[in-house]
Structure 1
Amino acid sequence: MSILDRYIAREFWKGLLAAMATFLVLYLGGDTVRQGVREDIPAAYAFQFTLYQMPEVLVLLLAPACLMGTLICLSGLARRNELTAMYASGISLGRISFVVMSLVFMLCCASFVITDRVVPPLAKERAHFYRTVIQKKPDLQTDIKQNKIWYRSRNLIYNLRTFDPRSNQITGISIYTFNDRFDLIQQIEAAKADYENGKWILGNGQLTLFDDETGYPMTSHFKTQAITLNESPEDFQEIEKEVETLRLKYLWRYIQRNQAAGIDTHNFETVFWSKISMALVPLIMSLLGIPFATAHHRHSSLARDISLCFFIVLIYWLLFSAGLSLGKSGRVPPFIAAWAPNLLFFAFGIFMVMRNRRA
């Protein structure tokens, strides 16, 4: 890396880190207050809960920070007439931008790794902290392992193959009941379970009782069986939140299993593709920052750069959120819903760069 490349990189890092620090302080302060007021918990608990989201927040803030870093770097070079000197030396804007875009691409790769490897386990810890400390429900646990859903509530453990929140139907359910010594006393297995009139209607299953006196299990079969459980479909909604935080390969396996069971997976497919598309947003934001930072450098200022950054990010986020809503509802294919904003802004960025070059 030449001296000039290091200088450009240093200017970019200065803008990026300043923007990231500012965004992070604003988010942490605002979210801590919001959690404390909403959940009515001490500030220490609210701050700890917010810290669990730190890697996820860093990934979300990376795109506007990269845009801000690009704007500050290139507009600063332009205001100091350093861009003009570089042009006079035969160094093109493309060569200058290549340094910035290379750094942003490396950040995109790091962002993808964090999203897939760091965020999922922390999301599980955050959910556990929320249930045990904030909700005061330490007996509630949700986990997904080996393509199976496990849900614990007090002395019951549920094993579900799939759960469809739209029809309130469970396929492949096993319910294990334990006594206070955590000895298994009853096991229910059923092919499916439907929630009707406050009860779960089990179909095609068997009931096994474990008797300590005889030492032998007693099993009976049934075609339909109505049982009353403390858990309603709303309680199993936690499963969806757990699924959305899975690593990509496990999320894709979950999608395939639900598709095989005939369950609508538009929601999870949209989440899957959005996780991948989000990793490239910083690169697109930086591309958009190049023409805006160099087109009118004589009239450029830090206030203008900040305003422009917020405007671009706001428009993108509105389109991205609308796309996700359409994708999750099934009105638009999940892949298109997750990638359309990226493709649109990328095309607009290329157009602006080419237009600026001709000007």
Structure 2
Amino acid sequence: MTSILSRYVMKAVIGNTALVMLVLLALSALYLFITQQDDIGVGTYSVEDALMFVGLNLPKYAFDLLPIAALIGALLALGNMARTLELIVVRAAGVSTMRIALWTAMAGVLLMIFTGILGEMVAPPMEQYARQLRTFAKFNDFSMAGNRSAWAKDGDMMITVRQQSADNRYGGVYVFNFDAQRRLRSVGHASSASIDENNRWQLENYVESRIGHERVDTRKEAETHLQTRLSAEFLGLAVLEPESLPGRGLYSYIQHLRQNGLDSRSYETAFWARIARTVAVAIIVVLAVPFAFGPMRSTGTGARTVVGIMIGVVFFLLAKMLESGGEVFNMPPLVVAWFPTVLLAVITTVAVSRVR
């Protein structure tokens, strides 16, 4: 009997979570498609490309929205069971609140495993392909190669960017100029650079070696400018962003940065935050148990949905705020990433233990 009841509760939680996720993804897809309207018609970027871009980005949205969807789904499932007195009957049969919470947590573990697979194997490559699809359609006159750095060709000039430290700001920039016969004419290096909205580069600490017929001339400038058709969006394809990398990629890149004596805090925070958010899915569903036995036992579906959205949004905003503030105030990445999930676990444990 216990096995039947556990499967019934788990099925209800997972089923309602899937239904909520479909609704949230539909809204996300509509919003994302609307944001693509300004880009449709640029280059060869068409409506079909925009729809493909939206579809490829949905796994990333699903990964981000799963904690909220899991909480709302659990609230709906247990709330409906409470309204129809099913939970009362289960309690009268001798099943404790902690056992019901355990069954809910088991559903959460299954959702957590699904979230991990989605965030590790599905969402990152699809999101990266979506960015490539849109950018190459919009900027089809350019070509690019590279993995850990960006190599971009614009006419007879080739630019390589080693790293991105902030929006539209880059470090380790090399500029190669070729003649019509593809012979190298000059090589320039800037320690840092930035791009404005007109694709005008400002190169700092610039050193250039110009190759002549019989000698190489060198010039140095504290600051110089370069006009290209390469945009920050195009170069961003090859710049590593923590949110776009799978866990394995993040871990590998963290080791690379440490071995080279570079700052890896933002990537460490992203790595632990990815794990913490995945674990949070198994915890957040249990938070629905005290609501099912408490003041929301007789409330409607709309009220439970609103409560679930509010709790999920607060958790999401707290996590993002800590991730942003932690880097500014030099907080340990482990503390920044795990604090929201640990706080959620403590609140859930206290709330469930107080249910009678």
Which range, TM-score by smaller chain?
A: 0.7 to 0.9
Q: Which amino acid is the alignment partner of residue 238 of structure 1?
A: G
Report what 2:93 is aligned to. Answer: 89
Structure 1 residue 267 corresponds to structure 2 residue 271? no
| 1:196-345 equivalent positions in 2, closer than 5 A | 198-202=202-206, 229-230=226-227, 238=236, 242-244=240-242, 245-259=244-258, 263-296=262-295, 298-345=297-344
Cα distance, 1:40 vs. partner?
5.1
| Cα distance, 1:67–1:235 mapped onto 2, change above 3 Å | closer
What does the per-residue CA deviation read over 1:183-227, in whole Å, with 9 as the maximum and x for residues that have no partner? 56357486x634499335456x97779x9xxxxxx9959695787
| Cα distance, 1:96–1:187 mapped onto 2, change above 3 Å | farther
Cα distance, 1:43 vs. partner?
4.5
Distance 1:121 1:184 in 2: 36
Aligned residues: 341
What does the per-residue CA deviation read over 1:284-305, in whole Å, with 9 as the maximum and x for residues that have no partner? 3212111112223542321221
Report what 2:68 is aligned to. Answer: 64
Distance 2:115 2:179 in 1: 46
Report what 1:106 is aligned to. Answer: 110
Tell me if the contact between 1:252 and 1:272 (Cα under 8 Å) persists in the aligned partners: yes
Cα distance, 1:266 vs. partner?
3.5
Cα distance, 1:326 vs. partner?
0.4
| Cα distance, 1:180–1:167 mapped onto 2, change above 3 Å | closer
Distance 2:136 2:233 in 1: 15
What SS class does the counterpart of residue 280 from structure 1 fall into? Answer: helix
Cα distance, 1:348 vs. partner?
0.8
| 1:116-131 equivalent positions in 2, closer than 5 A | 116-131=120-135
What does the per-residue CA deviation read over 1:234-271, in whole Å, with 9 as the maximum and x for residues that have no partner? 57872685332223333334334445555444333332
Tell me if the contact between 1:152 and 1:158 (Cα under 8 Å) persists in the aligned partners: yes
Distance 1:227 1:329 in 2: 30
Report what 1:149 is aligned to. Answer: 149
Tell me if the contact between 1:258 and 1:264 (Cα under 8 Å) persists in the aligned partners: yes
Tell me if the contact between 1:32 and 1:43 (Cα under 8 Å) persists in the aligned partners: no
| Cα distance, 1:312–1:78 mapped onto 2, change above 3 Å | same
Tell me if the contact between 1:267 and 1:329 (Cα under 8 Å) persists in the aligned partners: no
Cα distance, 1:157 vs. partner?
4.4
CA RMSD of aligned residues (A): 3.6
Distance 1:43 1:166 in 2: 28
Cα distance, 1:91 vs. partner?
1.7
Cα distance, 1:347 vs. partner?
0.9
Q: Which runs of 4+ in 1 moved over 6 A?
A: 205-209
Q: Which amino acid is the alignment partner of residue 16 of structure 1?
A: T
Distance 1:243 1:29 in 2: 25
What SS class does the counterpart of residue 286 from structure 2 fall into? Answer: helix
What SS class does the counterpart of residue 171 from structure 2 fall into? Answer: strand
Tell me if the contact between 1:266 and 1:327 (Cα under 8 Å) persists in the aligned partners: no
Cα distance, 1:176 vs. partner?
5.1
Unaligned runs of 5+ in 2: 195-200
What SS class does the counterpart of residue 109 from structure 2 fall into? Answer: helix
Cα distance, 1:117 vs. partner?
2.1
Tell me if the contact between 2:68 and 2:313 (Cα under 8 Å) persists in the aligned partners: no
Report what 1:54 is aligned to. Answer: 58
Cα distance, 1:323 vs. partner?
0.9
Distance 1:200 1:184 in 2: 26
Q: Pick 1 or 2: higher relative contact order, CA cutoff 8 A, min separation 6.
A: 2
Report what 2:6 is aligned to. Answer: 5
Cα distance, 1:76 vs. partner?
1.7
Cα distance, 1:274 vs. partner?
2.0
TM-score, length of structure 2 as denominator length:
0.80
Report what 2:33 is aligned to. Answer: 32
Distance 1:167 1:53 in 2: 23
Unaligned runs of 5+ in 1: 212-217
Cα distance, 1:125 vs. partner?
1.2
Tell me if the contact between 1:124 and 1:242 (Cα under 8 Å) persists in the aligned partners: no
Distance 1:287 1:194 in 2: 49
Distance 1:301 1:76 in 2: 8
